[in-house]
Amino acid sequence: MKPHPLSRTRTPPRPFPLRWLLAGAIASLLPVTASADAVTDWNAIANGVIAGAGAPPQQYRVFAMTHVAIHDALNAIQPRYRSYNPIGAANPNASKEAAIAAAARTVLVETLPPAQDAIVEGLYASYLAGLSCPAAYPACIDAGIAVGTTAGQAIIDRRVGDGSEMPHLPYTLAPAPGVYQPTLPLPPAPAPYPQFGNWGNLAPFALSSSWQFTPGRSALQTLTSPTYTRDFNEVKALGSALVRAAAPDSEESLIAMHWGVLGGANVNGYTRTIVAGRNLSLWQNARLFALVNIAVNDGLIVVFKAKFRYNFWRPYTAIRAAASDGNPATTADPDWNAYVTTPPYPDYPCGLPSTIASSTQVLRSFFGTDNVPFTFGTPARHYDTLSQAAAESAMARVYGGMHFRSGCLASLHLGQNVGRYVYNTQLRPL
Each residue's pLDDT tens digit, 151-178: 999 999 999 999 999 999 989 899 999 9
Q: Distance from CA of residue 96 to its chain's centroid?
A: 25
Residues 297-303 have a mean pLDDT of 98
- 188 pLDDT above the threshold of 70: no
Confidence bin at 378 (pLDDT 50/70/90) = confident
pTM beyond 0.85, yes or no: yes
What tens digit of pLDDT does each residue of 260-290 get? 876 667 899 999 999 998 999 999 999 999 9
3-state secondary structure of 13: coil
Contact 95, 102 (CB under 8 A): no
pLDDT surpasses 90 at 18: no
- Render 320-337 in DSSP notation, one character per residue: HTGGGS--TT----TT--
**DSSP conformational letter for 244:** H
The backbone torsions φ and ψ at residue 13, rounded to the nearest 5 degrees and listed phi first, read -65, 140
What whole-number distance in Å separates Cα of residue 131 and Cα of residue 96?
10
Distance, CA of 35 to chain centre: 23
Phi-psi region of 85 (alpha: psi -120 to 50; beta: other; left: phi over 0): beta
Residue 368 to residues 289, 296, 336, 365: CA-CA distances in angstroms? 16, 19, 44, 5
Burial 128-142 (b: 16+ CB within 10 A, else e): beebebeeeeeebbb
Phi–psi pair at 256, nearest 5 degrees:
-60, -45
DSSP class of 338: B
Residue 221 has pLDDT above 50, yes or no: yes
Assigned CATH for 17-158: 1.20.144.10
Question: Does 382 score more than 90 pLDDT?
Answer: yes
What's the pLDDT score for residue 36? 64
Residue 339 near residue 256, CB atoms below 8 Å: yes
- pLDDT for residue 88: 95
Q: Are 304 and 350 in contact (CB under 8 A)?
A: no
Q: What pLDDT is attached to residue 404?
A: 98
Helix or strand (DSSP H, E) at 383: strand 381-383
Q: How confident is the model at residue 24 (pLDDT cuts 50, 70, 90)?
A: very low
Q: Helices 386-399 and 351-367, interaxial angle, to 10°?
A: 170
Least confident range of 167-171, 304-308, 346-350: 167-171
Backbone angles phi, psi at 429, to 5 degrees: -60, 145
- Which comes out higher in pLDDT, residue 10 or 208? 208
DSSP 412: H
Alpha helices in 37-182 (DSSP H): 38-49, 56-77, 96-111, 117-129, 140-158
- Look at residue 196 and tell me whether its pLDDT is greater than 60: yes
Q: Report the pLDDT value the prediction gives residue 29, as an integer from 0 to 100.
A: 40
Residue from 169, 194, 168 nearest 181 by CA:
194
| Tally of CA atoms within 13 A in the half-sphere of 7 that contains its CB | 9
Neighbouring-strand partners of residue 374: 383
Q: Which residue ranges make up each domain of the chain? A: 17-158, 199-212+219-425
pLDDT beyond 50 at 21 = no
DSSP structure string for 159-209: TTTSSTT-------PPP-TTB----SSPPPTTS-SS--TTGGGSPPSSSS-
CATH of 199-212+219-425, one of 3.40.50.720, 3.50.50.60, 1.10.606.20, 3.30.470.20: 1.10.606.20
Give the whole-number percent of the chain exceeding pLDDT 90: 84
